[in-house]
Amino acid sequence: MVPFSLFTGFGLVGAYALLGCTWLVMKTEGALQRRMKDLARPITLIVLATIAIVSCWTPWSHPTIAMRWFSLPNVIFLAPVPILVLLTTLAILRSLERDSHAGPFLFALFLLFLGYSGLAISIWPCIVPPSISIWAAASPPASMGFTLVGALFIIPFILAYTTWSYYVFRGKVKAGEGYH
């Protein structure tokens, strides 16, 4: 499985490059924004190709995953995922052509959400295909309860801090300005 792991690692680098480019399209202007728009187009196509190759490689490697995606009626229920991947890729490319600033970033987020959704659909309920299920990998119920209480306490603070930082750093970065 080493080639598959290396390839998905390459795909992850491409995905983060796409997010970075589209983030800079949203947060900058001028020459840097134009450069990021030009760079985001081929990276979008690389991410699409990576998603397509992983989407073919995974069912080819595991017959149970192939049966999940390509048997009736599953093929009808799961068809929206690849269709939405194509439509979202087109939306990214179109929004890069237009003067949309937030659109490419939001569509890139949705594209990655769809990619991870397809992966989750493929391997569910296994966390490590093909043998370790999510229930076999889970901690004892007491540990999970303790973790839940901690998460319920800390998540509101994380959300509040994230909201505050996005508020502080809102808007575009202009030449000569800084946040200090």
Same domain, yes or no: 129 and 157: no
Report if residue 77 sits inside a domain. Answer: yes
Report if residue 179 sits inside a domain. Answer: no
Boundaries of domain holding 51:
2-135
SS (H, E, C) 60-117: HHCHHHHHHHHCCCHHHHHCHHHHHHHHHHHHHHHHHHCCCCCHHHHHHHHHHHHHHH
pLDDT at 70 (0 to 100): 85
What's the pTM?
0.82
Cis check for the bond before 73: say yes or no (omega within 30 of 0).
yes
- Model confidence at 37, pLDDT cuts 50, 70, 90, reads very high
Q: What percent of the chain has pLDDT over 70?
A: 96
Distance in angstroms (rounded) separating the CA atoms of residues 44 and 85: 11
Same domain, yes or no: 124 and 144: no
- Model confidence at 156, pLDDT cuts 50, 70, 90, reads very high
Distance in angstroms (rounded) separating the CA atoms of residues 118 and 137: 21
Same domain, yes or no: 119 and 166: no
Same domain, yes or no: 99 and 81: yes
Task: Label residue 7 exposed, middle or buried (CB < 10 Å: 0-12, 13-18, 19+).
Answer: middle
